[in-house]
């Protein structure tokens, strides 16, 4: 009876505990478990019984930023040298983090009675700060978001760890250019974008993106501050009566600050500084002002009569419409559907802009 009573009590206790857990809906944070066994609690001395465990040990050293470590190999003596040679090469060439940050790995081996003790020396070509700044990104949207974050802080680099990534360097460069036009208030000169991918293939890869701006960071931040001030002044004037201005009112107010010239400068800062900008600078300035006013707007890049040209696509009461501030004197007004805009000689990449269809 006593045994039966104890079991019943335990069963009830477990059941109640389970119900409580369900009601509280607690969430657990799951971290990858390091399957590499340590020796006597020392994280710099690991045990490996086969080749894969040896690779795992080396990856553990690299991910921990360790320059030295010891692996005790419990394997046949004739396998020790080829295992170490191949494992070091695999980590440096095929592991994403190893390919990105390790210059080379050296080792020496001391035979012991029951195992071989390998002393590992790792030389890095990246700093610990660079490694710790690596960001996990999944999908194109996340990559563009990280690029936008870099551009809005004028950061010189972004390093991303991406899963299931089969694209090449030019794909990332295209995303960087798209991100630049998505943050018009920070578009103060397109940076030169250099991309390196580690390793050359694999399920997970590290993508290093270097951004070389045409101006130094101090100058960029000063210009960003000046531009923000001018945009705030315009926004204050346009919303003085407490309402959101129309798209055309916004366009006319901006054009009072400067003028279009195909040979002008290409940033929104230049519109307020010199007063003369090309279609790129004018479109970026308008998009930046629309963002201040919470008017949805995108910078569009394509061709007008077979010449490279920029304009905007903006949200109106009738839906999305094309608006070219360098040409507001159209026969049917300045706002156009896709069909009407194409008829005027404009071309753009299909799918790159919101659809502008008739109401």
pLDDT digits (tens, 9 = 90+) for 256-273: 999 999 999 999 999 999
Strands 135-137, 157-163: pairing kind = parallel
Q: Which of 327, 297, 293 is nearest to 315 (CA)?
A: 297
- Rounded distance, CA 281 to CA 312, Å? 11
Torsions phi, psi for 10 (to 5 deg): -65, -45
- Rounded distance, CA 161 to CA 147, Å? 13
16 has pLDDT over 80: no
What band does 12 get if pLDDT is binned at 50, 70 and 90? very low
pLDDT digits (tens, 9 = 90+) for 286-320: 999 999 999 999 999 999 999 999 999 999 999 99
Q: Which of 173, 146, 181 is nearest to 162 (CA)?
A: 146
Give the pLDDT score at 201.
Answer: 87
Who has greater pLDDT, 11 or 232? Answer: 232
Give the pLDDT score at 285.
Answer: 98
20 has pLDDT over 50: no
Of 107-111, 226-230, 330-334, which has the strongest mean pLDDT?
A: 226-230
pLDDT digits (tens, 9 = 90+) for 29-51: 233 334 555 555 677 899 999 99
Q: Chain-wide mean pLDDT for the chain? A: 88
pLDDT digits (tens, 9 = 90+) for 177-197: 999 999 999 999 999 999 999
Instruction: Retrieve residue 283's tokens.
Output: 């479109």
3-state SS string for the chain: CHHHHHHHHHHHHHHHHHHHHHHHCCCCCCCCCCCCCEECCEEEEEEECCHHHHHHHHHHHHHCCCCEEEEEECCCHHHHHHHHHHHHHHHHHCCHHHHHHEEEEEEEEEECCCCEEEEEEEEECCCHHHHHCCEEECCHHHHHHHHHHHHHCCCCEEEEEEECCCCCHHHHHHHHHHHHHHCHHHCCCCCEEEEEEECCCCCEEEEEEEEECCCCHHHHHHHHHHHHHHHHHHHHHHCCCCCCCCHHHHHHHHHCCCEEEEEEECCHHHHHHCCEECHHHHHHHHHHHHHHCCCCEEEEEEEECCEEEEEEEEEECCEEEEECCCCCCCCCCCEECHHHHHHCCEEECCCCCCCCCCC
Who has greater pLDDT, 318 or 330? Answer: 318
- Rounded distance, CA 26 to CA 78, Å? 51
Who has greater pLDDT, 306 or 6? Answer: 306
- Rounded distance, CA 133 to CA 157, Å? 10
Give the pLDDT score at 166.
Answer: 85
11 has pLDDT over 90: no
Residue 141 buriedness (CB in 10 A; 0-12 / 13-18 / 19+): exposed
Domains in the chain (CATH in brackets) are: 38-126 (3.30.110.140), 133-212 (3.30.110), 217-348 (3.10.620.30)
> What does the pLDDT average to over 240-262?
93
Q: With pLDDT > 90 as the criterion, what percentage of the chain qualifies? A: 78
14 has pLDDT over 60: no
């Amino acid at each position: 009876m006593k045994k039966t009573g104890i079991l019943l009590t335990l069963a009830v206790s477990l059941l109640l505990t389970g119900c409580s857990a369900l009601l509280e809906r607690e969430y657990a944070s799951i971290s990858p478990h390091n399957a590499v066994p340590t020796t006597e609690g020392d994280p710099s001395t690991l045990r490996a019984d086969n080749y894969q465990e040896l690779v795992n040990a080396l990856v553990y050293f690299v991910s921990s930023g360790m320059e030295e470590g010891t692996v005790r190999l419990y394997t046949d003596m004739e396998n020790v040298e080829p295992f170490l040679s191949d494992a070091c090469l695999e980590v440096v060439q095929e592991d994403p983090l190893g390919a990105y940050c390790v210059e080379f790995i050296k080792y020496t081996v001391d035979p012991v009675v029951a195992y071989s003790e390998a002393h590992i020396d790792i030389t890095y070509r990246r700093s610990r700060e660079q490694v710790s700044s690596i960001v996990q990104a999944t999908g194109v949207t996340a990559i563009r978001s990280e690029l936008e974050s870099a551009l809005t802080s004028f950061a010189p680099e972004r390093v991303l760890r991406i899963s299931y990534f089969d694209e090449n360097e030019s794909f990332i460069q295209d995303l960087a250019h798209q991100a630049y036009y998505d943050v018009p208030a920070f578009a103060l000169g397109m940076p030169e974008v250099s991309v390196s991918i580690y390793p050359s293939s694999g399920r997970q890869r590290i993508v290093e993106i270097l951004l070389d701006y045409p101006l130094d960071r101090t100058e960029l931040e000063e210009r960003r501050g000046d531009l923000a001030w001018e945009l705030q002044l315009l926004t204050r004037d346009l919303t003085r009566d407490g309402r959101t201005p129309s798209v055309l009112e916004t366009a006319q107010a901006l054009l009072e600050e400067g003028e279009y010239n195909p040979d002008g400068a290409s940033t929104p800062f230049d519109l307020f500084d010199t007063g003369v900008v090309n279609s790129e600078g004018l479109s970026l300035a308008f998009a930046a002002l629309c963002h201040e006013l919470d008017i949805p707007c995108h910078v569009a890049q394509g061709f007008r009569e077979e010449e490279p040209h920029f304009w905007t696509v903006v949200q109106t009461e009738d839906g999305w419409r094309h608006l070219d501030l360098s040409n507001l004197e159209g026969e049917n007004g300045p706002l156009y559907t896709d069909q009407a805009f194409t008829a005027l000689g404009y071309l753009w990449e299909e799918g790159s802009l919101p659809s502008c269809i008739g109401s």
